Amino acid sequence: MKRKDLLGLRDISADEIMTILDMGKEMRARLDANEAGTELKGKTVATLFYENSTRTRVSFEKAARCLGAQTTGITAQASSVQKGESLIDTGKTLQSLLTDAIVIRHPSSGAPHFLAKNIDIPVINGGDGTNEHPTQALLDMLTVYRAFGDFRGLKVVIAGDIKHSRVARSNIWGLKKLGAEITLVAPETLLPAASSRLGCEVSYNLEEAVCGANVIIALRLQLERQTAGLFPSAAEYHRYYGITDRILHKADAGVLLMHPGPINRGLEVSGAAADGECSVILDQVTNGVAVRMAVLKLLCAAAY
């Protein structure tokens, strides 16, 4: 793959996505066989997190170690960021510490792009504001790929807080490039301004939208959105937009239920649905390690 950074799926080709997914499949097989890799031996991957995260950070660290790399973890709460150090200075310092790649999570959309422009080593977007979370979408896509073998003609429903979701945006870019048909489902208050111009169907009605769906991606709904006035109550949201067994029955028989986690049980997804036989939520987590191994290997290999 001839690129320095992975900043999003909007600016990446279908071929590049397939390269990552095919390698992700190999990496998943390696994880299942408990085989250690050495491709990145002697290299250091830094995770630079300006927002709280457990699974993404741990997943990247696990992926790096599975390839033989060392990891450095920096969080905004416990670093010179607290002393007012700028993002560029932090990035350049990491580069001077002989870091080989930086995984960044940041509350500001575009922060990884800004960092990438100013340093020479690969930057991987681990989630920026409400823009993109490319490796989450790639792991979702790997999960779909392993189940269906193809994306063309698949009906994918993305339900929930699309407006604030970087996971939704990355999935929209990636899945559309590979030929899936996407329906976005949310109340208007949780849809982005130009939802109708994204090349997806848009629906307010979850029950109708899931008919014949092969994949349902439920998005996390932050409870702060209620105090901001975007939905009236947890009960009403769950009634109209929560994924339950009743909703899953309306979908295609082999439907996959996915969720980027962490789950609010009883809000965007019922406990029964999350633990039910359609749910691949835990499989997604393992695929996350695999796909991040693929990304790290491809970017670090390209750099040297």
Binding residues for other proteins (CB under 8 A): 10, 86-88, 106-111, 113-114, 128-132, 166, 169, 192-195, 197-198
CB of 49 to other proteins, least distance (A): 14
Q: For other proteins, which is the closer residue by CB, 166 or 220?
A: 166
Token output for 263: 């789950």
Q: Which is nearer to other proteins, 193 or 253 (CB)?
A: 193
Of residues 103, 167, 138, 133, the one with CA closest to residue 22: 138
Min separation Cβ 109 and other proteins, Å: 3
The residue among 115 and 206 lying less far from other proteins, judged by its C-beta, is 115
CB of 205 to other proteins, least distance (A): 22
Beta-carbon contacts of residue 111 (< 8 Å; ≥ 6 apart): 50, 87, 104, 128, 129
Task: Kindly tell me which of 43 and 177 has the beta carbon lying closer to other proteins.
Answer: 177
> 73 or 129: whose CB is closer to other proteins?
129
Write down the least CB distance from residue 129 to other proteins, Å. 5
Q: How many residues does the chain have?
A: 304
Closest contact distance (angstroms) between CB of 116 and other proteins is 10
